Amino acid sequence: MSDGGSSEKGTAEVAAELRRHLAWLADAGIREVEAAPPPAPPAAPEGDPPPAMSPDRGAPRTAEKGCGSPGLLAVREQLGECTRCKLGAGRTNLVFGVGNPAAELMFVGEGPGEDEDRQGEPFVGRAGQLLTKMIGAMGYCREDVYIANVVKCRPPGNRNPEPDEIEACEPFLRTQIAAIRPKVVVALGKFAAQTLLRDTSPISRLRGRWFEYEGVRLMPTFHPAYLLRSPNEKGKAWEDLQHVMKELGKAMGKDR
Ligand code: SF4
């Protein structure tokens, strides 16, 4: 369960979470699950993060997505209006991350796409909607977890990030993870898994196995965009998420 949040959930919100949970399970072809306990009220965050002014925009960075703790704010301030790699020149928004700054569960994808670049938030397009369903099926809501990418600016034409771009950006992901200190990181897709693990094995071989990244348990699974193209693989992704839920001590759906 979440380590933090902002308000007690109302009936409508719990019902919406339940609907997301059931929708994902139905998509994944899962017909039978053990009852999961309702989400506990989140703990109050420990103090407000100090305000900080953006040197470039004159607006408090705390108002930006994903900066809800002093540690994350420090990482965001360090990035500034980053042009450390060539992706900086083409972005609309630097997509830092989003979610609970004290999340026990973090998802890491590849990089922002067009929707994400425009909105400044990771995983908001079709793949993002599926990720939100996956999160709901695990008994969380999007606000409980933290979501980020290996690179924070959109690669042109949605190409893969190049090695120099990863080298420039990954240190900030590392400090982001250190600031959040999640119990588990889920690497979404081949690219995130191979980058974080420095392992060129195919995702079909990496997924479903536990690894360590910077002292944090890491589980690779399929990227939601791949699952949209290959819905018959959703069952395998669900198995991977079950491992994660078990690691986090949450109720598990039964194997199909
Ligand atoms: Fe900076 Fe990362 Fe954007 Fe490159 S991708 S410009 S390193 S924030």
Residue 219's domain comprises 11-247
Specify if 162 maps to a domain.
Answer: yes
d(CA 229, CA 231): 6
User: Which residue's alpha carbon is nearest to atom 2 within ligand 1?
Assistant: 169
- Predicted model pTM: 0.80
pLDDT in tens, 73-89: 999 999 999 999 999 99
Specify if 5 maps to a domain.
Answer: no
Specify if 252 maps to a domain.
Answer: no
Our CA angle for 142, 145, 147, nearest 5°, is: 85
Candidates 174, 201, 198, 172; CA nearest to 185 is 174
The residue type at 241: L
Q: Dump strand ranges (E) for the chain.
A: 98-99, 105-109, 146-149, 184-188, 211-213, 216-221
Specify if 45 maps to a domain.
Answer: yes
pLDDT of residue 58: 46
Q: Do 68 and 45 touch, CB atoms closer than 8 A?
A: yes
pLDDT of residue 35: 44
Specify if 255 maps to a domain.
Answer: no
Q: Is the dihedral of CA 162, 155, 153, 189 positive or negative?
A: negative
β-pairing verdict for 216-221 and 105-109: unpaired
Q: Which of 94, 160, 170 to mutate to test the pocket of ligand 1 (most atoms within 8 A of CB)?
A: 94
Q: Is the CB of 78 under 6 A from ligand 1?
A: no
Looking up tokens 């139905």 gives: 26
Q: Is the CB of 95 under 6 A from ligand 1?
A: no
Q: Is the CB of 118 under 6 A from ligand 1?
A: no
Q: Please list, in sequence order, all residues whose beta carbon lies within 8 angstroms of the beta carbon of residue 189, skipping any fewer than 6 positions away.
A: 109, 110, 203, 222, 223, 225, 226
- Number of domains within the chain: 1
Compute the distance from residue 203 Cα to the ligand 1 centre, in Å: 25
Specify if 22 maps to a domain.
Answer: yes
Cα-flanking dihedrals φ and ψ of residue 155, to 5°?
A: -70, 135
Specify if 44 maps to a domain.
Answer: yes
The tally of CA atoms less than 13 A away on the side-chain side of residue 95 is 31
Q: Is the CB of 94 under 6 A from ligand 1?
A: yes
Q: Please list, in sequence order, all residues whose beta carbon lies within 8 angstroms of the beta carbon of residue 195, skipping any fewer than 6 positions away.
A: 150, 166, 170
- Residue 71 gets the label, from left (phi > 0), alpha (psi -120 to 50) or beta, of alpha
Q: Do 241 and 188 touch, CB atoms closer than 8 A?
A: no
Q: Is the CB of 169 under 6 A from ligand 1?
A: yes
pLDDT in tens, 43-64: 433 444 433 333 334 445 555 7
pLDDT of residue 18: 57
Q: Please list, in sequence order, all residues whose beta carbon lies within 8 angstroms of the beta carbon of residue 208, skipping any fewer than 6 positions away.
A: 219, 220, 221, 236, 239, 240, 243
Q: Please list, in sequence order, all residues whose beta carbon lies within 8 angstroms of the beta carbon of residue 24, skipping any fewer than 6 positions away.
A: 133, 134, 136, 137, 238
pLDDT of residue 42: 40
- Report, as ranges of residue numbers, the positions in the chain whose pLDDT lies below 50: 1-8, 32, 34-59, 253-256
Residue 27's alpha-carbon distances to 20, 133, 136, 156, 228, in angstroms, are 11, 10, 13, 31, 10
pLDDT of residue 39: 43
Provide the token pair at 9.
């959930």
Compute the distance from residue 70 Cα to the ligand 1 centre, in Å: 21
Specify if 26 maps to a domain.
Answer: yes
Compute the distance from residue 72 Cα to the ligand 1 centre, in Å: 16
Count the residues in the chain.
256
Q: Indicate which CATH number applies to the domain containing 109.
A: 3.40.470.10
